[in-house]
Each structure stands twice: as C-alpha cells, then as structure tokens.
C-alpha cells in the first residue's frame, strides 16, 4: 500500500465531515428524532470532560479528578428535576435505549411480561420482542404484549387495553410493566385514563418521552409524571435539543434500583462531556422551552394542513393531524415510503420512511413501508414559522405529487435555506447552526 494512505484516510474523514456540514446548511432537516444543539452545547461536548471517567454518583466517585465534574453533575441533576418536576433524576444513561434498559433492569426480571406499543403503532425497537431483536426481549428477556391500537384516533385503545389485561391475567400472563410513549407519536397516550387501572394490577408504569421530551419540558403535549407514570425515560436530543444522551426520572422510591441499574449495571463511563451538554440544554429548556414547544406545535399543525391541502393523505385527520412535532403521511398513492424518502433526499429534503398502521398485515416491511414521518423540531430551532411550513409543503408536493425533477426543487431549497443559519431558543448564538469548527 502506498505510504500516504493513512494520511489520505485521515484527510478523507475530515473532508466528509465538512461536506456533511455544508450539506445540512443547505438542507431541510425533517427527521423527527433529530435536532440541532446550541453552540453552547457544542462547546460543552468538545471539553476535556469527554476524556475522563467519573464512575459512581457525584461526591462518591471511584476515581480522583472529579471536582468540577461533580459540580456540573449536581447542577445537571438539579436542572433536570426542576425541568420535569421530578424528585429523582439519573442523568448518566448514555442514550434513550440505555435509559429504558435501566428501567427494565430496575423494575422487572427476565421472563416478565411488558405491555408496549407495536412498531407500526408507534412503538420503538427498544420496547420490542426478542424475535424482532427488540431490546426489551433480546437484552432483558421480557415477553412483549402489544396494546390494542386505534388507527383512526392514532393512539392506544383504552377499553380494548383493559379487556386485554383482564385476558392476560386469566391466562397467567399479567404484565409487570406498562410502557407508554413511542417513535411515531402524534397524540398523547392515555396515561391518565389507564394509570389507576394498570396500577390496580401492580404494574410499574414507564413513559418513554424520547420523542416528546422537549414538548413536555415546555409544558405541552402531556405531563406523564402527574398523570400516573411512575418513571419517565427519554433521549436528550430529539425535541429536547441537547447532545445525544439519555435520562431517567422518578420519585425517591425509584432512586436506589435505578442508580444501581445505571452504574454498575449499564455504564462504566457515562460520557461526561455529554452530561455537561445535557446540563446546558436543561438550562436552555427552562429558559426558552415554552416558546419553543409552542412554536413547534403550531408549525406541525400548519405543515400537516398544508400537506393535506396539497393532496397528501396525512394520518390522524380525524383529530387535526397532530398534537406533537410529528406528521405522518401515507404515500402509497405515489410509491412507498422508501422511494419517497430517496426522491426527497435528491432535493435536500431529509425525511424518513415509516411503518404505519396496516403495513404489516399488507406484507409491507421497513424498507418499503406505507408512510413517511416528518418532524419540525429542527427547522423550528432554525427560526422557521408557519409561512415557512407552507413553503416546505409546496416543495414536497412538487417532488412527490407533481413529479418534477428533484434537481429543480433542490435549487429552490438551497436559496430558501440561506436565511436560516442560526440556532434560536438559546442564550448564545455566535456559531452558525451547522458551522464547522476546525481545531487542528
Ligand atoms: C429514539 C427513541 C429511543 C432511543 O433513543 P436513543 O437515544 O437513540 O438510544 C427510545 N425510545 C423511543 C420511543 C425513541 O423514539
């Protein structure tokens, strides 16, 4: 091999990183599970915290060198508890999946049954069965029973769920845990309506707020810990605009089992730079979260209506399409979710294909599902409002319904995109949203 090949690889890495930043500067990012953090969060995650270990609980670490890390982690826990009005917060899970695993480990044993939404009904792989390589089944040995889902209302069916639980009890399969929350998540889940019933069977109720954590922080969507959820898990980087990470919340009585599950159970290093980034994001969410969540929901509604007016089959029509940051569209009139995703990408419109209710029965799979999912969290962070939603809906129509050449729309997208290069809803905006920072 040529002598220069290591340096060539090295250079290739950086040229791809830079190209990626440039691409996103010129794109409309509509992946509902993504967001753009503030320059302050980016600063925190490049700090030396990322090179340290701080195993254990702040103040009781197993290594020296944690003086400032402990200060930040105490602040991080304080802010998390304030933001979500919770008595206990473990800020160490390194992702939403790990946060869910912490709750499974703390409150269930392998072989127990968990009630959870199926994937086409909005559930996440981390709630899934062993035969689908879902985390709950594969990693913790849980047996999964799905909630009955109402595809018209696009939420869990309360009465049928009650019947199902009674049947499971008769069959000797009573669930030990009920999981709410999901990845395709248009309307609040019936936590309030089901909590007393589920608790009468001694079930632990967890609410997975991975997608909607930023909306809940802003006082929108629903308030699971007040509605009857015992614990709440989340990712810190979807509607909540932190670094990639996880969080578990609960009350004092959950503290001990969760702490043990997180460390030493599930983490050694808890990615301390990201912990600092979470602390920054919690402070930003406390300060700006309400305005942000309000605008996200306004934007999602206008976007959904505009797509519907353009001729798309937007799910959840009966209930006004959405109460969250997400919109789901059935695209089977044009092709399938996979093809639509690829066509839009050619115009720098970044969306993801999505399994929707009915797909599995019809034999469709994740590569060619019936839908796409759109999220407005990131474009809201960039300062876009209702008029911009209408504009973006028209680009999508031109590519998918009018079948115009995506290259023509790409030109429009790039020029539209020029005006939205800063992150909003944060204290300091010096750095551009996708500005590449060279440290070498
Ligand atoms: C994204 C997501 C997760 C996983 O989060 P990671 O932070 O990527 O591990 C868990 N649950 C739900 C409902 C999600 O949508």
Domains of the chain: 42-284 (3.40.640.10)
The model scores a pTM over 0.85: yes
The answer to whether the CB of 182 is under 6 A from ligand 1 is: yes
Q: How many residues does the chain have?
A: 440
Structure confidence by residue, pLDDT tens digits, 136-165: 999 999 999 999 999 989 999 999 999 999
What 3-state class would DSSP assign to 349? Answer: strand
Give residue 246's pLDDT. Answer: 98
Query: In whole angstroms, what is the distance from residue 357 CA to residue 121 CA?
Result: 6
Instruction: Please identify, by atom number, the ligand 1 atom nearest to the C-alpha of residue 245.
Output: 7
CB 325 within 8 Å of CB 239: yes
Whether residue 1 is predicted with pLDDT greater than 60 in this model: the reply is: no
Q: Give the span between the Cα atoms of 304 and 317, in whole angstroms.
A: 9
Supply the pLDDT for residue 63: 87
Residue nearest to atom 5 of ligand 1 (CA): 96
Write down the pLDDT at residue 120: 85
Q: Is the dihedral of CA 214, 215, 219, 225 positive or negative?
A: negative
The closest-lying atom of ligand 1 relative to the alpha carbon of residue 99 is 9
Whether 245 is in the pocket of ligand 1, judged by its Cβ within 6 Å, is no
Tokens of 164: 């199902």
Residue 3: what pLDDT?
65
Q: How far is CA 389 from the centre of its chain?
A: 21
Tell me what pLDDT residue 136 has.
98
Say if residues 93 and 262 touch (Cβ distance below 8 Å). Answer: yes
What is the spatial distance between Cα 221 and Cα 161, in angstroms, rounded to a whole number? 22
Give the start-end residues of each E strand in 167-294: 177-180, 204-208, 231-235, 246-250
Please report the DSSP string for 104-159 in residue order. Answer: HHHH--TT-EEEE--TTTT--GGG--GGGT-HHHHTT--EEEEPPEETTTTEE-HH
Ligand 1 centre from 235 Cα, in Å? 6
Sign of CA dihedral 260, 265, 267, 268: positive
């Amino acid at each position: 091999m040529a002598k220069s090949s290591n340096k060539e690889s090295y250079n290739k890495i950086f040229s791809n990183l830079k190209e990626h930043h440039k691409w996103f500067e010129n794109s409309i990012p509509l992946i509902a599970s993504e967001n753009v953090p503030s320059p302050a969060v980016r600063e925190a995650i490049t700090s030396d915290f990322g090179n340290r270990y701080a195993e254990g609980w702040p103040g009781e670490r197993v290594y020296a060198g944690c003086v400032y890390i402990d200060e930040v982690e105490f602040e991080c826990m304080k802010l998390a508890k304030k933001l979500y009005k919770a008595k206990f917060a473990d800020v160490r899970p390194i992702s939403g999946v790990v946060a869910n695993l912490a709750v499974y480990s703390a409150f269930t044993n392998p072989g127990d049954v968990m009630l959870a939404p199926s994937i086409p009904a909005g559930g996440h792989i981390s709630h899934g069965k062993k035969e689908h390589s879902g985390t709950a089944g594969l990693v913790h040995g849980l047996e999964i029973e799905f909630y009955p889902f109402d595809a018209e209302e696009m939420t869990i069916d309360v009465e049928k769920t009650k019947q199902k639980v009674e049947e499971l009890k008769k069959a000797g399969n009573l669930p030990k845990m009920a999981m709410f929350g999901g990845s395709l998540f248009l309307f609040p889940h019936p936590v309030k309506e089901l909590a007393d019933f589920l608790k009468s069977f001694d079930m632990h109720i967890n609410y997975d707020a991975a997608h909607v954590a930023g909306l809940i922080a802003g006082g929108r969507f629903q308030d699971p810990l007040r509605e009857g959820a015992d614990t709440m898990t989340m990712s810190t980087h979807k509607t909540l605009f932190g670094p990639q990470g996880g969080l578990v919340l609960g009350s004092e009585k959950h503290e001990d089992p969760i702490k043990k599950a997180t460390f030493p159970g599930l983490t050694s290093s808890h990615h301390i730079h990201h912990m600092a980034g979470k602390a920054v994001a919690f402070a930003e969410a406390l300060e700006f979260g309400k305005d942000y969540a309000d605008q996200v929901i306004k934007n999602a509604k206008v976007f959904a209506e505009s797509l519907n007016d353009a001729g798309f089959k937007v799910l959840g029509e009966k209930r006004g399409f959405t109460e969250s940051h997400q919109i789901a569209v059935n695209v089977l009139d044009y092709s399938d979710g996979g093809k639509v995703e690829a066509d839009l990408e050619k115009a720098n419109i970044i969306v993801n294909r999505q399994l929707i209710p009915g797909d599995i029965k019809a034999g469709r799979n994740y590569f060619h599902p019936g839908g796409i999912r759109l999220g407005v969290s990131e474009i809201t962070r960039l300062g876009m409002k209702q008029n911009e939603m209408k504009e973006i809906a028209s680009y999508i129509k031109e590519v998918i319904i009018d079948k115009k050449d995506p290259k023509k729309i790409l030109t429009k997208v790039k020029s539209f995109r020029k005006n939205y290069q800063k992150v909003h809803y944060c204290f300091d905006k010096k750095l551009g949203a996708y500005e590449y920072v060279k440290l070498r």
